[in-house]
Amino acid sequence: MTALDVAAGYGLPLRQKGARYWARCPLHGEKTASLCFFPDGRWYCFGCHRHGDAADLYAALYGVPLAEALRAVKGTERPRGPYKPTAAELRRRVEDWKGERWAEACEQKHAARAIMMMLEKEGAGLDSYWRAARQAGDAEDALNLLESATPAQLLKMMAEGL
């Protein structure tokens, strides 16, 4: 069994480009396909930089130890059907995603405010100041959205790669 077989069994939508297949990586949130399957049976994600063989992918997708994944890809254990995460796993993934977006928005907000303060001291052009002010406002909007969203809304945003 190759990594491509594992991905297909998991239910990932695959798209062929030349000799390689591509998919959106389920190991991290993304908008475009960065998970690549090579003809030699291995895989690499250009987004999260995870990689390996069929057993490594199986273990990552299904959250099982490598020994169990090896048995599954060798055929000595019945392969699982398409993965269905538990409620606890979904909550953890959503909270991890929310934490990453929160940190990004905070960093953007603080950077924009630092630029605004610097521009105020220097008396620089208004265009630069208002551009930074808009970035700070966008970051504040993102923080407010993350804070007020329900878990279901967060899951939808995560799935859409927002």
Distance in angstroms between the alpha carbons of the first and the last residue of the chain: 34
Distances (CA, A) of 94 to 74, 100, 140, 154: 32, 10, 20, 7
pTM of the model: 0.51
Query: What local confidence, expressed as pLDDT, does residue 76 receive?
Result: 63
- Higher-pLDDT residue of 50 and 63 is 50
Query: What local confidence, expressed as pLDDT, does residue 118 receive?
Result: 85
For 76-114, how does the pLDDT look when each residue is reduced to its tens digit (9 = 90+)? 655 555 566 677 777 888 888 888 889 999 999 999 999
For 18-55, how does the pLDDT look when each residue is reduced to its tens digit (9 = 90+)? 999 999 998 887 778 899 999 999 999 998 999 999 99
Query: What local confidence, expressed as pLDDT, does residue 80 receive?
Result: 57
Distances (CA, A) of 145 to 116, 123, 133, 149: 23, 33, 18, 6
The one-character DSSP state at 22 is: E
